């Protein structure tokens, strides 16, 4: 396992995180082959990857005339069938999964793919909370399975949480850290507990902010400014949530609640309400804010959610 031998990476799941990872791999000079269960994501991921690369060119390669977005994009291939993907994976050195945060789905997918992967490939998972050991065991090759929790948006955030589980080989862990550093990332090693280091602390914090909004203690924009202007967070909880997606917030919160039984992690009612109305955030144009692409149009007013009079709530009609 030599990080310098990495030439090609396979990515399964081309949603928000998968596509951001693709851009980072291309930026590092790797070839990438992507696959998604939904063919809708083929074109959408290409658009997102192109946008990410343009951001990277401006932010990190402004003085580097050799960095060419089109040349990077030419190295990105989409496999339109599972067979085509498996065939491309034979010449890949890393397989990254970024499918939905669902342990059964991830384990089934890994059981299907791992026996068809070439020797020497290292498996990465972008899970944000699930047991990496469970996935490692499900794939049948626990030593080479590594949690690599990239933060949203992956191409912009330097940290990657590299999750050490009980059956990981030191070689695979070191290889992963080295490849990430080669890509310009700043990885750190975390323990395989529910939510690892970042989400273990971030999820209760975010859900507490949602509950405060439900209680009418704060508005969306003031809540975000409070964290940004006081604590230096790059964006507040509500804007971040709109980028993450309310469906993902639900999946991550529920998985962590089921793993820990910590009531703070049970998704607040507002999460279910918003999912029920397809208010998932940026991806559906409406979340805590209204969006035009990646631009905020306006904050939304959630004051209607509050129960303002407990007497009325319990009043029995005569």
Give the CB-nearest residue to ligand NAD.
15
**SS3 per-residue string spanning 162-193:** EEECCCCCHHHHHHHHHHHHHCCCEEEEEECC
Q: How far is the CB of 16 from ligand NAD (least distance, A)?
A: 4
Q: How far is the CB of 192 from ligand NAD (least distance, A)?
A: 15
Query: Could you say which DSSP state residue 151 is in?
Result: P
| Contact between residue 135 and residue 163 where contact means Cβ atoms under 8 Å apart | no
Question: Which residues are part of the catalytic machinery?
Answer: 149
**Helix, strand or coil for residue 12?**
strand
Query: Which residues within the stretch 69-98 sit at the binding site for ligand NAD (CB under 6 A)?
Result: 98
Q: How far is the CB of 72 from ligand NAD (least distance, A)?
A: 20
Contacts with ligand NAD, 205-244, as mask; x by CB under 6 A: ---------------------------------------x
| Contact between residue 86 and residue 113 where contact means Cβ atoms under 8 Å apart | yes
Residue 110 is a binding residue for ligand NAD (CB under 6 A): no
Q: How far is the CB of 3 from ligand NAD (least distance, A)?
A: 23
Question: Vertex 223, ends 221 and 228: CA angle to 5°?
Answer: 90
| Sign of the C-alpha dihedral computed for residues 224, 99, 165 and 4 taken in this order | negative
> What would the two tokens of residue 255 be?
């998985």
Residue 101 is a binding residue for ligand NAD (CB under 6 A): yes
Q: What is the largest CA-CA distance in the chain?
A: 78
Residue with structure tokens 């507990």?
193
Paired sense of beta strands 159-164 and 145-150, if any: antiparallel
Q: How far is the CB of 249 from ligand NAD (least distance, A)?
A: 8
Residue 109 is a binding residue for ligand NAD (CB under 6 A): yes
Among 9, 22, 56, 99, contact with ligand NAD (rule: CB under 6 A): 99
Query: Which residues within the stretch 247-286 sit at the binding site for ligand NAD (CB under 6 A)?
Result: 248, 252
**Helix, strand or coil for residue 114?**
helix
Size of the site for ligand NAD (CB under 6 A): 26
Residue 12 is a binding residue for ligand NAD (CB under 6 A): yes
Which residues are at the interface with ligand NAD (CB under 6 A)?
Answer: 12-18, 36-38, 41, 98-101, 105, 109, 126-128, 149, 152, 244-245, 248, 252
């Amino acid at each position: 396992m030599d990080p310098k031998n990495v030439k090609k990476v396979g990515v399964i799941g081309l949603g928000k995180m998968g596509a951001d990872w693709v851009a980072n791999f291309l930026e590092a000079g790797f070839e990438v082959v992507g696959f998604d269960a939904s063919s809708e994501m083929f074109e959408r991921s290409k658009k997102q990857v192109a946008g990410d690369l343009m951001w990277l060119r401006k932010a990190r390669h402004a003085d580097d005339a050799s960095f060419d977005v089109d040349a990077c994009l030419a190295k990105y291939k989409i496999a339109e069938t599972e067979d085509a993907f498996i065939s491309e994976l034979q010449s890949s050195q890393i397989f990254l999964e970024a499918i939905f945060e669902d342990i059964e789905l991830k384990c089934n997918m890994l059981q299907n793919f791992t026996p068809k992967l070439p020797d020497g490939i290292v498996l990465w998972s972008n899970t944000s909370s699930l047991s990496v050991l469970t996935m490692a065991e499900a794939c049948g090759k626990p030593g080479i399975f590594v949690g690599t929790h990239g933060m949203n948006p992956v191409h912009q955030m330097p940290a990657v949480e590299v999750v050490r589980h009980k059956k990981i080989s030191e070689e695979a862990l070191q290889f992963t850290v080295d490849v990430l550093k080669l890509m310009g990332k700043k990885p750190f090693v975390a323990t395989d507990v529910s939510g690892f280091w970042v989400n273990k602390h971030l999820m209760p914090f975010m859900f507490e902010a949602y509950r405060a909004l439900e209680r009418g203690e704060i508005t969306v924009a003031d809540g975000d400014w409070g964290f940004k202007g006081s604590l230096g967070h790059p964006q507040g909880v509500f804007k971040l949530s709109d980028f993450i997606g309310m469906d993902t917030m639900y999946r991550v919160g529920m998985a962590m609640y089921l793993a820990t039984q910590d009531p703070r992690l049970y998704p607040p009612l507002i999460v279910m309400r918003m999912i029920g109305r397809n208010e998932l955030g940026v991806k559906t144009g409406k979340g805590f804010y209204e969006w035009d692409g990646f631009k905020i149009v306006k904050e939304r007013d959630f004051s209607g959610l509050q129960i303002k009079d407990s007497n009325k709530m319990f009043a029995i009609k005569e």
